[in-house]
Structure formats: structure tokens, C-alpha cells
Structure 1
Amino acid sequence: MNNIEQIRNDWSIEEIKLLYHEPLLELVYKAATVHRTWHSSSAVQVCTLLSIKTGGCTEDCAYCGQAARYHTNITVKALMDKEEVLSIAARAKASGSSRFCMAAAWREVRDNKDFERVLEMVKGINALGLEVCCTLGMLTETQAERLQAAGLYAYNHNLDSSERYYDEIISTRIYGDRLNTLNNVRKAGISVCCGGIIGLGETHEDRIGMLHTLSNLPQHPESVPINALARVPGTPLQDLTKVDVWDMVRMIAVARILMPKAMVRLSAGRSEMSTTEQAWCFMAGANSIFTSESEELLVTPNPKLDEDRAMFELLGLTPLSNK
């Protein structure tokens, strides 16, 4: 293994492929070693994710229940009021969250009154002492600058999959659009949250390709969410099989080795994982999770707050403070 204190942005596909296909126990050991070099082994960042505008999206992402063209049981909801969002954020902080993430089911940000309201939410949550993150779709450079001026700490915009497989799951935008938004976010001085989803029907080579793109960005994302497909009834991917937990462990471990400074986020899929399975993910280098007082990760199930507290106590984990 390369020097574990070295940050690299020149990983080759072959190097990543060799890592990815290592025997699992050896891979986890290497990832755990890297993790402990760069991070506390027991500190996990607790992030709260809130859907501030739900459903009605014009995109055709095959995995997403919020796409207007699919017939799902998800209720479309308009943009929430600022005061309600701030109240939820305050409760999230009291429950141990250090980052508050707001998601709106938009294809792209538009310069209108809704964006102005989001900017006011960002200001209010920043004043609470929380890291503020948004995921609002595609951004222009000017919009990113306005979010940064309002106090936005991070922006989430996932690659979803490899560039090769991307067209199989989304046709309403191209891979380059995602990379352009990431570039606009970075130029504005906002930290980048960017990862992907496994279980979309992709191959191992596609997973390796996505990790190659992420790890070869000029600057690694500060946060890398690894999601297991949530099979939402009514979407084109509803009948795919559940992601094997060992595939999640493998992806987290490789991401940890390739991007040692990043917060590797164990994201969608936790509701179908046991405490033992989540423990393997933490051992492999995950050091961040999403929580929600509504027990939903946007519009899919997420573990209860009490379940997460019990898991932390059992595993000896503590919420990471941003102070």
C-alpha cells in the first residue's frame, strides 16, 4: 500500500481495481489503518438531512421517487417555511448533529423567490452554529457565490455512478453537468459533498470508475456519501435486489484509502442494515451518518434516533463536534 500519509489525485484505474478486488479482510485492515492515521477511530459526524421541498422533480433519475413522471406514493410538498426549518435544525443540534443538510427536489436552482428563501434558511442555520449543507440540483457560479456569502458550508451533488453507466439511469442531464456544478461549488469556496449510489444495476467496473473520477478530482470532496439503492415502488429500479452489505463495506474501504481526509458517509441503506453490518462499515472507514427526526432519509426509511444512540453506545462511538 502507498504511504498512508500521502494525498494523491493521480490514481490509475488499474491501481483502484487492484484495491477493490483485494480480499475483504485485508482491504478492511488497510482502510482501518488509513482511517486511524487521519481521523479519530471513534468520532462519527452526525448529520441531519431534511427535505425542504419534496417531489415534482422534472428529472428522470431511475432511482428517485421524487421524479414527477413516476407513480409513487410520495406526497409532493412545496418549499417549507423558514421558521419551521430553523426549529427542526435547532432540535437536530440538540440531538447531537453538527451538520444540517437541506434538500430540494429541483433539477437546478432558479433565481427566484424560492432561492431567496433558501438563502435566508442558510443564514439562520449558520447562526445556530451548525455546518449548513444544501443539495438543490445544478448551480451556476453566481448562485454558488451567493450561497457561500449566506454562510453555506457544503454543497452536495453526487455523481451517482460512473460516466459510462450514467446514461442508463438518467437522460435529462449529462455527466458533465454534474462536474460543472462541482467546479462552480469549489470555485465559490464551498466544501464539496459528492459520492454515489451502488445497486443501480451497474458493474464492479462502474463502481471503480466512479471512485476513479472522485479520487482524481483536483481536490478530493471533503465528504463522500456511499449510498445503497433504496428501491422505491413505482420507480424503474424498484425490482432490483438489495445491495449486499459486503459491497457497501468494500466501497467504503476503497473510498477511505483513496480519499483519506474525506468524511466517508454511510448514507442510504442503513435502515436495512443490522448494527453488526453498520459496525463493519465504520471499521472500513465510514465516519459519518445521516439522521432524521422523521425517520426518513428524504423520502426513504432511516433508523430511529434512539436506535442510532444505542448503536453508538454499544460500539463506543461519539458524535463529532464541529467546535
Structure 2
Amino acid sequence: MKLEITNTDWSLLADKALSGECLSMEEGLSVLRADDDEVLPLLQAAFKVRKHYYGKKVKLNMIINAKSGLCPEDCGYCSQSIVSTAPVAKYTLLDKDTLLAGAREAIARQAGTYCIVAAGKGPTDRELDQVVDAVKEIRATMPLKICACLGILKEEQAGRLAEAGVHRYNHNLNTSKENYPSITTTHTYDQRVETLEKVKSRGMSPCSGVIIGMGETDEEIVEMAYALRELDADSIPINFLNAIPGTPLGGAGRTPAMKALKVLALFRLICPSKELRAAGGREVNLRSLQALSLYAVNSLFVGDYLTTDGQDVSSDHQMIEDLGFEIEQCAL
């Protein structure tokens, strides 16, 4: 049965979010199942919350694919996994000079956060040494926040990254706990949660998000938002599946742009104060409606992703300017 809600009620959901109350499952489903004609009033409600916490500022992040195509995991969405036949670059962890060059490029793109991402179940001691060495030099010489994404961490590895100056650690939940076994079998949902708890215990900011479009139900999308609220993730990247030929999910369809906007509004209303990012797949799923995402999110990736192309950086800068928003400068 489709839930009905009026324009006025969207504003009431914004007020509820601002008061600190969490939306009910019924309210969450009403957002996802709203008529497409309700998307603009729904985004207005999301923007009320976004503006309260972030004004009209937009945070920019840049990814460097620090290790590519050599992953033993079987994640169905990933072109770098062991089960993928997609033609991607394969290389071991980049050297320090290349990681430093990436940091300088992040600054040139006006990104405040530089994300060092390495495919794999977790870092080896040698890989961790390389990342720690690069992070120390970046922190000493450049005005950047550093986010690392290296897989499942041991306690001592989390401690070393924190000591080196890593501000944030990314480890996405990706999908709901119920849907997780259909996406990967080489690690568990609980292992991801455990890594995020280790990150928090070491004083790093937890970054964790989702990938929409992997067979999850609307109820599971709401549950993902609840899980991230419970985890108290500071930064939440919302990815929309970019189905890559050669991966198990290569034949999946795209998320309709209007549904994608409803998802972003939902996450803003359930996780009101958090940095919410329109992340991977926004270009191919939101398409011409990308600009509207900024009424719910306050963060974007600029440039390319791990193995897929992003929008031209100048186009992102122009989009932000045309909306009357402004890029937030890095504040360490």
C-alpha cells in the first residue's frame, strides 16, 4: 500500500529532524515512495535541515586509487574484485611521491579532504608503513584533511593511522545487514562495523556510507540510514551503483534520478547533522538532476572515482557557483 503525505508534512519531517527525533519507518518509507511531483517540496524540507547545519557551503573531497585491481574479495559491485573480469589497471600501492602529488592535485581542485583508497581486505604492515609515511609528510606540508580507506583494520593499525595524523577513516556498510550476503561472502557486515568502532576508539572520524541499487528494498534503505545514525558516522557517502560490465552486478539497472533524490532527502532527514556526500555513480544516475542533490547533501567528490570517470572538475565548480552555493575551505 502506497503511503500518502502532503506538502505540509514534509516540513513537519524537517522540524522533527531538527528537534533530534528520528523518523519512523513509516515516515521514511513515505519519503522514498513519495510521488515524483513531491520531490521539490521534499527537497525543500531536506534543504531546511541542510541549511541549518551547513548553510550553503559545499565540502569537496578527492579520491586517489592508491592500489588497484589486486583485491581478493568478491564484492559484486567492484571492478577490482577477484571475481571481476572488467579491464582495470592493476598495481601495488603507489609510492610516496605519487601520493604527495595526488595531495597537491586535491588542493588544486579546492578539495579539503584527500582520500587515500587501497583495494584489499586489509593493509599489510608494509602497505601501512607506506601510507603512514606519506600521511606524515602531507600533514606537515599541506592544508588538507586526510581520509584513509584501506579495508578491515587491526587495533594497532588503527592506532598507527591516528598517530600519523589521519583525520578520518572510511569503511562503508554498503548495504543492509540482511542484503549483505548477496553482495559479498569474503567478509561480513559485522566485521565492517567492528572496524568502524576501532576507528572511533582511536579518535579518528568514522566515515561510512552505502551503495544504492544492489537489490535492496525500500525498508532496507531506511534501515541503512538508521544503522549509520546508530553508528554516529560523521561523514556519509551515498553511492548509486554504476554497474560495470564484468562484475556480478554489471547487468543491474540504474536508479531513477527522482528516486535517487528521494534517497538523499531521506538520509538528510534521518542523519540531519552529518556530512552527507553525493558520491560514486551520481553522474550516471542523477544525470541532469545532479545540481538538485546539493539541496540535501553538503559534500561531493571531485574528479574521477576508483575505476570510473567522474564529472569534469570545472563543471562541479560551476554547478556549485550557479546554485549560489560556495566551496568550503579546509579548516584544520
Q: Same fold (TM over 0.5)?
A: yes
Q: 1:29 aligns to what? A: 44
**Number of equivalenced pairs:** 314
C-alpha distance in 2 between matches for 1:21 and 1:69: 34
Q: Deviations over 1:132-187 (max 9, x none)?
A: 00111001222111111100000111111111111111111111001101100111
* Structure 1 residues 301-316: aligned runs within 5 Å: 301-316=309-324
Q: Residue 273 of structure 1: CA displacement?
A: 5.5
Give the superposition deviation at 1:107.
0.6
Query: How far is 1:274 from its partner?
Result: 6.5
1:260 is aligned to: 272
Partner of 1:227: 239
The CA distance in 2 between the partners of 1:178 and 1:49, in whole Å, is 20
2:191 pairs with 1:177: yes
Distance 1:130 1:291 in 2: 15
Paired residue for 2:293?
281
Q: Which amino acid aligns with 1:248?
A: A
What residue ranges of structure 2 are gaps of 5+ in the alignment? 1-12
Matches within 5 A, 1:34-53: 34-41=49-56, 43-53=57-67
Q: Who is 2:168 aligned against? A: 154
Structure 1: runs of 5 or more not aligned: none
Alignment partner, residue 257 of structure 2: 245
Contact 2:260 2:285 in 1 (8 A): no
Q: Please state how far the C-alpha of 1:227 moved relative to its aligned partner.
A: 0.4
Q: How does 1:159-238 map to 2 (within 5 A)?
A: 159-217=173-231, 220-238=232-250
Shift of 1:245: 1.1
2:17 and 2:179 map into 1 onto residues whose CA distance is 31
The CA deviation at 1:97 is 0.9
- On the 8 A contact 1:275/1:311 being kept in 2, the answer is no
Q: Distance in 2 between matches of 1:191 and 1:50?
A: 19
Q: For 2:253 and 2:323, locate their aligned partners in 1 and report how far apart those are by CA, in whole Å.
A: 29
Structure-to-structure mapping, 1:115-154, within 5 angstroms: 115-127=128-140, 128-154=142-168
- How big is the shift at 1:18? 4.0
Question: What do the CA deviations read for 1:182-211 (whole angstroms, capped 9, x no partner)?
Answer: 100111110011110011122212211211
Output the amino acid matched with 1:159: L
Aligned residue for 1:308, secondary structure, equals helix
Q: Please identify runs of 4+ aligned residues in structure 1 that moved more than 6 A.
A: none
Q: Read off the aligned partner of 2:61 and give its amino acid letter.
A: C
Measure, in 2, the Cα distance between the counterparts of 1:15 and 1:216: 18
Q: Does the 8 Å CA contact 2:256/2:286 hold for their aligned counterparts? A: no
CA distance in 1, matches of 2:297, 2:202: 27
Identity of aligned residues (%): 32
CA distance in 1, matches of 2:213, 2:285: 15
SS at match of 2:179: helix
Whichever residue aligns with residue 28 of structure 1, its letter is: L
TM-score (ref. length: structure 2): 0.89
- Structure 1 residue 248: deviation in Å? 1.6
Counterpart amino acid of residue 307 in structure 1: S
Q: Could you tell me how far apart the structure 2 residues matched to 1:88 and 1:291 are?
A: 13
Q: CA RMSD in A?
A: 1.7
Query: 1:245 and 1:315 mapped to 2: Cα distance?
Result: 19
Q: Bigger shift: 83-92 or 304-313? A: 304-313
* CA distance 1:18–1:243, shift in 2 (3 Å): closer
How high is the TM-score relative to the length of structure 1?
0.92
Find the aligned partners of 1:183 and 1:191 in 2 and give their Cα distance: 10
